[in-house]
Structure 1
Amino acid sequence: MKAYPFLLPILLLSSLAAAPLHAQRAVPLEQQMGKAEFTQAGLNKLTPAELQHLQQWLAVHASELAAAVPASEETSAAAAAAKSPGPFVHTAKTTKVKRNDSITSRIDGEFRGWEHGTTLTLQNGQRWRVKDDSTLTVPESLSSPVVFVKPGFLGSWLLRVQGYNTTARVEPAN
């Protein structure tokens, strides 16, 4: 199969939809994606056997693919937070809340740690303010370390820097 750089995000989205349906009945990718997007991705060029193999592979590896792709491209922390308010938070749209809306990015610039009130700016444009009394001091400043922000309980957000076991309760600052 010829590699298409834009194919992974499309396949990821279709695999997320395919995984739960696979147990019941596999829905063809063309039906999930729509004919235009299916053709634009070049999937119409696959043989039926290749397409079936791809669908099976996506169903098996859906969770791995979801973890590999950043969950949020939002440039505002408030917009990202609004998309996934966390568990036990009732929204008008639905009572079922997705728990996989974590944000993976990098600190924009040098990182020396945090304390209460510190605002951390991420490379994706989001800004998060530490609102608890946790502290993290790194021995030497780090250049753009990877950071994870995930929903906590009751609408809170937790931030962790890769390589450190300390988390901070944060809130959107933009």
Structure 2
Amino acid sequence: MRHAAPLLALALFTVTGAAAAQGFSTVEERMSATEFREAGLDTLSEAQLQALNAWLQRDRRCVAADAAMDSRGLRAEALDDEADIVSTLPGAFTGWQGGEVFTLANGQVWRAIDPGSALRGVNLTNPRVTISKGLFGAWRLKVEGYNASVKVERVE
């Protein structure tokens, strides 16, 4: 019971940034090992962790509503919001060569539209990404720890 308050705070935070309708990724997949440890989740039993993931999966309707409300990159009236979009790419990530579609953990879907840009030789799991608004309304996706970015457009 002593983990209830941090666990509830983490659950609420995780629900707002979780994957939407595409597929469910567990809290372990969504967080880095450091984040997982700092949140105290490494002290949970396997049963407690399974219960948390089951609850998150059942309560994904909150995620879909949050993702739908964030229209940055989709509609012209949303382009005034210049705040970075920070999320993760659930699962394995091996880079890009142009034309890839990126489904973020927050439910947003972006497509690489910079055919000359490439990031090769990468082998990451659940990397943190930042999508920033650039010049003339363009958006760029950057993977944490790499000095490369690709021009993207929002698909969903």
Structure 1 length-normalised TM: 0.47
Gaps of 5+ in 2: 10-64
Q: Distance in 2 between matches of 1:77 and 1:165?
A: 30
Q: Displacement, 1:79?
A: 1.5
Question: Over alpha carbons, which structure has the higher Rg?
Answer: 1
- 1:132 is aligned, of 100, 110, 114, to 114
Query: 2:85 matched to which residue of 1?
Result: 103
Report the Cα offset of residue 108 of structure 1: 1.6
What are the Cα deviations for residues 32-68 of structure 1, in whole angstroms up to 9, with x where unaligned?
Answer: xxxxxxxxxxxxxxxxxxxxxxxxxxxxxxxxxxxxx
RMSD: 2.9
Query: Which residue type is aligned with residue 153 of structure 2?
Result: E
Distance 1:156 1:144 in 2: 24
Q: Percent identity?
A: 34
Structure 1 Cα separation of the partners of residues 136 and 92 of structure 2: 31
Taking structure 1 as reference, are residues 150 and 113 closer, same or farther at Cα in structure 2, changes over 3 Å only? same
Letter in 1 for 2:129: V
Distance 1:77-1:143 versus aligned 2 partners, 3 A rule = farther
Distance 1:76 1:147, change over 3 A: farther
SS at structure 1 position matched to 2:67:
coil
AA matched with 1:144: N
1:109 Cα deviation from its structure 2 partner: 1.1
Deviations 1:11-38 (A, max 9, x none): xxxxxxxxxxxxxxxxxxxxxxxxxxxx
Superposition deviation, residue 173 in structure 1: 1.6
Q: Higher relative CO (CA 8 A, sep ≥ 6), structure 1 or 2?
A: 2
- Counterparts of 1:1-174 in structure 2, within 5 Å, are 74-75=66-67, 79-81=71-73, 82=75, 84-85=78-79, 97-99=80-82, 101-133=83-115, 134-139=117-122, 141-174=123-156
Number of aligned pairs?
94
Q: Which runs of 5+ in 1 are unaligned?
A: 6-72, 86-96
Going from structure 1 to structure 2, the CA distance change for 1:78 and 1:98 (only over 3 Å counts) comes to closer
Matched-pair contact (CA < 8 Å) for 2:67–2:106: yes
Q: Distance in 2 between matches of 1:143 and 1:120?
A: 14
Q: What's the TM-score once normalised by structure 2's chain length?
A: 0.52
